[in-house]
Structure 1
Amino acid sequence: MSSVENVTAAKPKIGGSVHVGALGTALPEDAVSELSEAFNSLGYISEDGVKNENTPNTEQVKAWGGDVVLNAQTEKKDNLSWKLIEGLNVAVLKTVYGDENVTGDLEAGITVKARTSELEDKSYVIDMILKDGVLKRIVIPRGSLVEVSEITYKDSEPIGYEIKIAALPDSKGFTHYEYIKKKGA
């Protein structure tokens, strides 16, 4: 039966909603537990929020005469994307350019070195609040940064890094986990 109580929207968790950690960092297994301090907040993301492209691609197999007799899955991408808008956040810069390519802090000075080498995979956790205080957490055990959109330096908008993360299968074959729980339940 249809119910308006099941219709919801997502807002970022206060204090940061997207976090990144090194592979091997203990991953949360629910929507409510405290996130390990080993995860770094990526701060504000743009008003567009988080997008999840979790789409299978198929190939139709036809029999003689033209009837479609099989839809064979050829791949299933699980990509998540968002735009990081804290251009002075060292964790953001390390996510975009690589941990070893960003040094310092604002007080001492930050140095960013852009290179062509492949970045290390990382773990990501996305926390959000749904209608009526329901908590939702998306956990990506292994994510590869596969795209950084064009970076714009303009006086009328924040410097932002729109990134796409490809969620790769973990040892159990899952690309990401979603945990949902009513707050206080």
Structure 2
Amino acid sequence: MTKPNASLVTQGKPKVGGAVFKAPLGTALPTDATTALPEAWIQLGYVADSGVTNTISIESANQKAWGGDVVLNGQTSKTDEIKFKLIESLNPEVLKVVFGEDNVTGSLEDGITVHCKPLQTEAHSFVFDMIQKGGILKRLVVPEATVTAIGDIVYKDDEAVGYDLTMGAVPDESGDTHAEYIAKPAAGGGA
């Protein structure tokens, strides 16, 4: 029997240089925790200190036999959501995730215009890069996700303006709603 091992308990901190990235659907997905992302992956800046929350919900139904005994527990559905708050509210790429690619134009230098239309935003692929205890790298790769909820946008003098997003993941052709890769960095490699 294996004993508990405190060295296997960890936390997740954002990877230095960026932790949340988006890319158009069809972009090659990373298959490990250590390979640098190509330029197609756009970094979405700072995330609020609440971090990233992955919620996997499973619903099931019990089948009872005559007499009332439960004889089968069958899964009826599964959802995979990722929640995080992007706080670079002056970043056009962040605004495009929130409001849709075609609803955001311009740059901070020239002026940004955001149209808030009742259309569903585009699906993207997402990567979440973290550093865990001991420098262990963890990467969550979401092949396809869409914004399914936006929290209240608060404008006040003691809080960063941000977009509290819930993303709903959709299974890819292999059935994955997301993949997780965990690895020690190469000797001499930085995070």
Tell me, yes or no, whether TM beats 0.5: yes
Classify the secondary structure of the residue corresponding to 1:25. Answer: coil
Encode CA deviations 1:121-170: one digit per residue, 9 max, x unaligned.
Answer: 10000000001111000000111111111111111101110101111110
Contact 1:51 1:80 in 2 (8 A): yes
Q: 2:53 aligns with which of 51, 54, 60?
A: 51
Q: Encode CA deviations 1:100-124: one digit per residue, 9 max, x unaligned.
A: 1101111100000010112111000
CA distance in structure 1 between the aligned counterparts of 2:162 and 2:67, rounded to whole angstroms:
53
- After superposition, the C-alpha distances for 1:51-73 in whole angstroms (9 at most, x for unaligned) are 01112111122222221111111
Number of residues of Structure 1 aligned to a counterpart in Structure 2: 185
Displacement after TM superposition at 1:26 (Å) = 1.4
The separation in 1 between residues aligned to 2:171 and 2:129, in whole angstroms, is 20
Structure 1: gaps spanning 5 or more residues:
none
1:184 match: 186
Q: SS of the residue aligned with 1:15? A: coil
The equivalent residue for 1:72 is: 74
Pick aligned residue for 2:31 from 29, 32, 39: 29
Asked if 1:96 corresponds to 2:98, the answer is yes
Secondary structure in structure 2 of the residue aligned to 1:95 = helix
2: CA distance between counterparts of 1:72 and 1:149?
33
- CA distance in structure 1 between the aligned counterparts of 2:30 and 2:109, rounded to whole angstroms: 33
Q: CA deviation at 1:42?
A: 1.1
Structure 1 residue 16: Cα displacement? 1.1
Deviation string 1:44-102 (CA, Å, 9 cap, x unpaired) is 11111110111211112222222111111110111111011111111110000011110
Q: Which residue of 2 aligns with 1:63?
A: 65
Q: Report the AA paired with residue 182 of structure 2.
A: I
Question: What is residue 107 of structure 1 aligned with on the other side?
Answer: 109
Secondary structure of the corresponding residue to residue 174 of structure 1:
coil
AA aligned opposite 2:57: T
C-alpha distance in structure 1 between counterparts of 2:125 and 2:101, whole Å: 14
Which secondary structure state, in structure 2, belongs to the residue aligned with residue 27 of structure 1?
coil
Aligned to 2:173: 171
1:5 deviation in Å?
Answer: 1.2
Query: Residue in 1 aligned with 2:157?
Result: 155
The one-letter code of the counterpart of 1:82 is: F
Contact kept in structure 2, 1:26 and 1:36, CA below 8 Å: no
Structure 2: unaligned runs, 5 residues or longer: none
What is the aligned-residue identity percentage? 49
Distance 1:98 1:110 in 2: 14
Root mean square deviation, CA, Å: 1.0
- Secondary structure of the residue aligned to 2:94 is helix
Equivalent AA in structure 2 for residue 69 of structure 1 = V
Tell me how far apart the structure 1 counterparts of residues 116 and 57 of structure 2 sit (CA, whole Å): 32
